[in-house]
Amino acid sequence: MPGKIWFVGAGPGDPDLLTVKGRKLLEAAGAVLFAGSLVDQAATLFSPPDCEIRDSKDMTLEEMSAWLIERAARHETVVRLQTGDPGLYGALIEMTRPLTAAGIEWAIVPGVSSAMASMAAAGETLTLPEVTQTVILTRVAGRTPMPPGEELEALAAHKTTLCIYLSITLLHKVQDALRAAGWAEDAPILVVQKASWPGEEKIVRGTIKDIKRRCQDAKIASQAMIVASPTLGAADWPELIRSKLYDPTFTHRFRKATENDHE
């Protein structure tokens, strides 16, 4: 019987942000195919000494599928180690379809996305009560076009948190789309390059007006998350609207508000 292929989210770069399940699979793997251009190679250090390890950065989709199928014939556990989460901006379904056709079992282990890692690195929050309760994960149209209705300008019109992937070289398009959607020139923008990567992480804060220049000054031109959000900088606001869940005047099924709490 062929082995099982696991698509494991490596997270944003720091090997310590692998899930426990992901690390256990790497420790048991007979073969690992990892995205070397995006995943810190240190993640493969969890693999056994005799594990077959292959960097996929120079491979086509067909070559990756063939490699995985061949290794599944030799090993009980094969890992495809992908950056962030396998289901977000990865060729997941394109890779699983040939496996299903070949009768090979596969499964997915989720990973931490760079959007969450970037906000964590900057000490920011994606949502705030009565400010925004919606997060949009998107990108700017480049060689891969956006489906109709998903242009950044249309999404930005919601004035909610935008986590913009794969777009740092198109930062001018991000600026133009936000302006066209009515965002102010002084609206805060956060850019984090290689979030969580030990010794390589860069955090740049700016506004729609100056974020491109600030990124140029910091020499950020790849592997960066762009965040536009009305929540940015909230740690320094003079006042915040409290979360109802932790408000002493709010009753829920685990806690009752007391009379003193209403005074």
Per-residue pLDDT tens digits for 94-132: 999 999 999 999 999 999 999 999 999 999 999 999 999
Residues 6+ away with beta carbon under 8 Å from 179: 185, 208
> Do residues 215 and 204 touch, judged by C-beta distance below 8 A?
yes
Superfamily of domain 114-236 in CATH is: Tetrapyrrole methylase, C-terminal domain (3.30.950.10)
Lowest-confidence pick of 25-34, 183-192, 248-257: 248-257
> Do residues 43 and 118 touch, judged by C-beta distance below 8 A?
no
User: Confidence band (pLDDT; 50, 70, 90) for 242?
Assistant: confident
Task: Give the type of residue at 2.
Answer: P
Domain spans of the chain?
A: 4-109, 114-236
How many CA atoms within 13 Å lie on the side-chain side of 261? 10
* Long-range CB contacts (within 8 A, 24+) of 40-46: 40/10, 40/13, 40/14, 40/15, 40/197, 40/198, 42/15, 43/10, 43/15, 43/18, 43/81, 44/81, 45/15, 46/15, 46/18
User: Confidence band (pLDDT; 50, 70, 90) for 39?
Assistant: confident
Beta carbons within 10 angstroms of residue 218's beta carbon: 15
Burial of 135 (0-12, 13-18, 19+ CB in 10 A): middle
> Do residues 207 and 213 touch, judged by C-beta distance below 8 A?
no
Provide the angle, in degrees to the nearest 10, between the axes of the packed helices 61-72 and 92-101: 50
What are the tokens at 231? Answer: 């929540």
The model's pTM: 0.90
CATH annotation of 4-109: 3.40.1010.10
Question: What is the average per-residue pLDDT within 211-225?
Answer: 96
Report the distance separating Cα 208 and Cα 228, nearest Å.
Answer: 9
